[in-house]
Amino acid sequence: EEYLLPFSCKDRCLCPSCTAKRSVSFADFIVNEVIESVPHRHLVFSLPKIIRPYFKFDRKLIRMLSRCAYDSVKEICQSLFKEPAIPGMIIAVQTFSDDLGWHPHLHTLMTDGVFDEDGVFHPLEHLSLSYIKEVFEQKVLIGLRMKELISEETIKLIQSWQHTGFHVHHETRISAGDIARIEQVASYLIRSPISLERLSYNDQNANVTYQGKRDVYNFHPLVFLANLSLHIANHGEQMVRYYGWYSNKKRGMRKKDGKLNKTTTLSEDL
């Protein structure tokens, strides 16, 4: 099939040069318009290879994936706090691996704690990543089962493995007020699939060479373009989403009340 997609350098997160410029603006927006001056975590959610193709052929499922990640974190955070409270979370979708293969995963910047209804921040020093992974795994598998994409047998097969392939990795913890680190992570959230510094073309054998973090990959030019095209977002597809305290609705309400990005009073650690 052929799909005509209007394309410009202002979006799609494909062009390394334009994306580098856009990431600077995005980081500035995150720092000045979204986050509060509280501790944050950078988490990465990844999937087993057996279910990754479903998100390749139906990219609308990526929205479900992002929701599962947020709901997993929210449920666990709320279970540690007696009063109604929510975390703030920014989720960015990345679909590429080091060799430009299809590898949908989520990079998230989340508050290291929750906000109550009065806007008071409550730190959560002990957040179990293994528990988040288990809840995230269950939500994704149930979501795919409800859409009749996988069977109960497939779910049992995945859960029978010693390592299911679901993973939640803690990249880093960011202290309150560490703006430089926040900007670095925010820029990374919307990075381009490729780096021009790692890309070269060999005239002798007509191959494209890409230097990954660990290995060197050689592609026929058409194969390289085909792999790269997998990571072009569809028209109207959201690659960054905001949840909880950082949702558009919550930010709009705080802005209306003149409380956007005000320093939040911290409660005692739980």
Convert the pLDDT of each residue in 201-213 to its tens digit.
Answer: 988 888 999 988 8
Q: What tens digit of pLDDT does each residue of 162-187 get?
A: 899 999 998 889 999 899 999 999 99
Lowest mean pLDDT among 9-18, 48-57, 188-197, 232-241: 9-18
Q: What tens digit of pLDDT does each residue of 20-45 get?
A: 788 888 999 999 999 999 999 999 99
Distances (CA, A) of 195 to 100, 103, 185, 260: 11, 17, 17, 35
On the question of pLDDT at 13 being above 80, the answer is: no
Rounded Cα gap, residues 221 and 124, in angstroms: 49
Cβ atoms < 10 Å from Cβ of 190: 19
Rounded Cα gap, residues 228 and 214, in angstroms: 19
Q: DSSP assignment, residue 172?
A: E
Asked if 55 and 46 touch (Cβ cutoff 8 Å), the reply is no
Token pair 């703006």 is found at 179
On the question of pLDDT at 263 being above 50, the answer is: no
Rounded Cα gap, residues 152 and 118, in angstroms: 43
Rounded Cα gap, residues 134 and 242, in angstroms: 22
Predicted structure pTM score: 0.88
What is the percent of the chain with per-residue pLDDT over 90, rounded to a whole number?
54
Q: What rounded mean pLDDT belongs to the chain?
A: 87
Q: What is the mean pLDDT of the segment spanning 130-145?
A: 95
